[in-house]
Amino acid sequence: MSSLLDALSMLRRFRGYLAGAGGISDMINALRWSVWYAVKWWEEAKAAGKVDAPVARALYRSLLHHGYVDEEGDVVKRPRTPGTPRGPYAQEWLALHRSFDAIFRKVLEGDSEAARILFEAMQAQGWYKLWRDDFLKAAGFRGRRIFEPRMRGGHNAVDIYAEYAPELYAGYEADEASVEALLEAAPNVVVGDCPGSGICVFKAATACELADSLAKLAVEEVLLFNALQWMEDPVGELACIKRAAPKAVFYVGQPVVETMPGFLAINAAAGALRVFSRDEVEGLLEAVGLKRRRLLLREIPFYASVWA
Amino acid sequence: MLNRRPLDCDIADPEKFSALPEDIQQKVLEALKCPCVDASTRLLLLRLERMGVLKCL
């Protein structure tokens, strides 16, 4: 039922995304590859005795939900090999999974560098940008005074700044190298002492560390795009943001357990700390006093909603 | 202060480069031929440089 509702919503609100994928059947075909690879990776993780690795736990949780493995982790349903999608963005999605497949053994052995590089590349892929941009359009994102908690390289910041020309795009990075790259890549970037306009990057590990500065920035929009599962303390951090920007609208778009297991695994391997179900995501947002204003997509191809 | 050096990059680690998705390999190769990249591509090159995939002068 929810898949049907999501399909209708996709047809109504995400036409660009659908067109890029090559139509709804090609999009479904591309998404099936994520399941197909997830089952393959889960079996490889089991064979290697690595079922407790973060990437394996992400796979298990989603595959269990989708009915491909049972509680014991045995594969009880095997997806047929999907056809190759024709749409250019669907092909990029498949290329992402192929690339992760090539490094999966390294990931299981605990090498996180290869997955981090892949995640970096993913943020520059056309399908990822289309996913984000169509989500923002469908959500009615105005793009005036934006806060993105974890910038993770600044790809969203650079693209959204170019597209929406906001008064302010603020966020934080935990490591110096990310700050330096962003400074060097784009104009109007300021680090630390934010003048209240341009792209402001704070050096911090959590939004709570910059709550006082954030409160002075009159943030109107909080972008939580593929973000909550990367936070160490999502409720604590959301509470800090809500206190600092009490009137802001929160735009939430991300994969959930009910979404694509292979993509969840790629996130987990690249450093995402958790895997959330749709109900868990909504529970986090409700826990800090936010109320859902719009539900754009329940789970397929991702979860998307607006809160305030 | 902004320091936008002209990017003159090359592949530093062929193994890491070949592990990128094909479309990104193509995008990077095209960007290496032309320094006239947009901020988004420039950010990708700089990030890949810091990850040891590329080396830039």
Select from B24, B37, B56 the residue whose CB has the most chain A CBs within 10 Å, as the one to mutate to test that interface. B24
Residue A199 distance to chain B (closest CA, Å): 12
Question: Residue A160 and residue A43: Cα distance in Å, rounded?
Answer: 39
Task: List b or e across A229-265, with b for residues whose CB sees 16 or more CB atoms inside 10 angstroms.
Answer: bbbeebeebbbbbbebbeebbbbbbbbbbbbbbbbbb
Residue B56 distance to chain A (closest CA, Å): 12
The answer to which of A280-284, B2-6, B19-23 has the lowest mean pLDDT is B2-6
pLDDT value of residue B3: 46
CB < 8 Å & 24+ apart, contacts of A90-93 = A90/A20, A90/A21, A90/A22, A90/A26, A90/A27, A90/A29, A90/A30, A90/A127, A91/A30, A91/B23, A92/A125, A92/A126, A92/A127, A92/B21, A92/B23, A93/A21, A93/A30, A93/A33, A93/A34, A93/A125, A93/A127
Q: Would you say A33 and A93 are in contact if contact means Cβ atoms under 8 Å apart?
A: yes
Strand partners, A109: none
Asked if A118 and B39 come within 8 Å (Cβ–Cβ), the reply is no
Select from B23, B37, B38, B50 the residue whose CB has the most chain A CBs within 10 Å, as the one to mutate to test that interface. B23
pLDDT value of residue A287: 98
Please give chain A's pLDDT, 308 residues, in tens.
457 777 788 777 888 878 877 888 888 888 999 999 999 999 999 999 999 999 999 999 999 999 999 999 999 999 999 998 888 999 999 999 999 999 999 999 999 999 999 999 999 999 999 999 999 999 999 999 999 999 999 999 999 999 999 999 999 999 999 999 999 999 889 999 999 999 999 999 999 999 999 999 999 999 999 999 999 999 999 999 999 999 999 999 999 999 999 999 999 999 999 999 999 999 999 999 999 999 999 988 899 999 99
Q: Would you say A186 and B43 are in contact if contact means Cβ atoms under 8 Å apart?
A: yes
Select from B25, B43, B57 the residue whose CB has the most chain A CBs within 10 Å, as the one to mutate to test that interface. B43
CA angle A119, A24, A8 (to 5 degrees): 105
Task: List b or e across A200-219, with b for residues whose CB sees 16 or more CB atoms inside 10 angstroms.
Answer: bbbebebbbbbbebbeebeb
Model confidence, pTM: 0.94
Contacts of B5 in chain A (CB under 8 A): 184
Asked if A183 and B39 come within 8 Å (Cβ–Cβ), the reply is no
| Nearest-by-Cβ selection for B16 from A117, A155, A183 | A117
Contacts of B48 in chain A (CB under 8 A): 117, 120-121
Helix (H) or strand (E) holding A174: none
A251-274 pLDDT, tens per residue?
999 999 999 999 999 999 999 999
Question: Residue B7 and residue B5: Cα distance in Å, rounded?
Answer: 6
Nearest CA in chain A to B41: A124
pLDDT value of residue A1: 46
Backbone angles phi, psi at A33, to 5 degrees: -60, -35
CB atoms < 10 A from the CB of A112, how many?
15
Give the ipTM of the model, two decimals please. Answer: 0.93
pLDDT of B1 > 70? The answer is no
Contacts of B40 in chain A (CB under 8 A): 124, 155, 158-159, 162
Q: Would you say B53 and B18 are in contact if contact means Cβ atoms under 8 Å apart?
A: no
Average pLDDT of span B20-47: 92
Tokens 């490094």 belong to residue: A103
B8: closest CA among B53, B47, B46? B46
B13 touches A at CB < 8 Å: no
| Nearest-by-Cβ selection for A185 from B16, B22, B46 | B46
Residues 17-46 of B with CB under 8 A from A: 19-24, 27, 38-44, 46
